[in-house]
Amino acid sequence: MTDKELLSIAREASRKAYVPYSKFAVGAALECRGGAVFTGCNVENAALGDTICAERTACVKAVSEGYREFVRIAIYAESQNYCMPCGSCRQFLSEFNKGDMEVLCSRADGRYVSYRLRELMPHTFNY
Ligand code: THU
């Protein structure tokens, strides 16, 4: 699958976002080894701190279906800025990946930037 195809799945996933508070819809598409793709969107809560980001939704869906080896994640938001994963999502993804996975961060005009997880989250917490 091409980067653009994965990004388009992330964009589609953002339509399902539950964002009554921020109105900022985010979608993620997480590709696992073997090609399975799990999508996610952000799911907000009136207790704002209980909100779950799109990336973590996708990650939890994958792990709960028995997939832990992540290859790439595409993130999309209808924004002028590239949608970067927040610190919590970087830490969360790093639980399952040593840092090789690609993180594609896109913006509304379709342009995207690509990083390795370890670039975005060096020296992760672990014990
Ligand atoms: N959000 C994500 O879904 N992913 C991120 O990496 C950053 C933030 C969501 C959480 C909240 O619903 C909205 O964006 C505004 O913070």
Q: How far is the CA of 47 from the centre of ligand 1 (A)?
A: 14
C-alpha dist (Å) from residue 61 to 4, 28, 36, 56, 71: 22, 11, 11, 8, 15
- Give the span between the Cα atoms of 4 and 51, in whole angstroms: 28
65 is catalytic: no
Each residue's pLDDT, cut to its tens digit, for the chain (127 residues) gives 999 999 999 999 999 999 999 999 999 999 999 999 999 999 999 999 999 999 999 999 999 999 999 999 999 999 999 999 999 999 999 999 988 999 999 999 999 999 999 999 999 888 8
- For 10, the 3-state DSSP assignment is helix
Looking at residue 98, what is its pLDDT?
87
Compute the C-alpha angle 71/75/80, nearest 5°: 150
Q: How far is the CA of 21 from the centre of ligand 1 (A)?
A: 11
Is the CB of 25 inside a 6 Å radius of any atom of ligand 1?
A: no
| DSSP bridge partners of 40 | 28
CA-proximal residue: ligand 1, atom 4 (nearest): 53
Q: How far is the CA of 64 from the centre of ligand 1 (A)?
A: 21
* Active-site entry in 12, 44, 55, 69: 55
Looking at residue 72, what is its pLDDT?
98
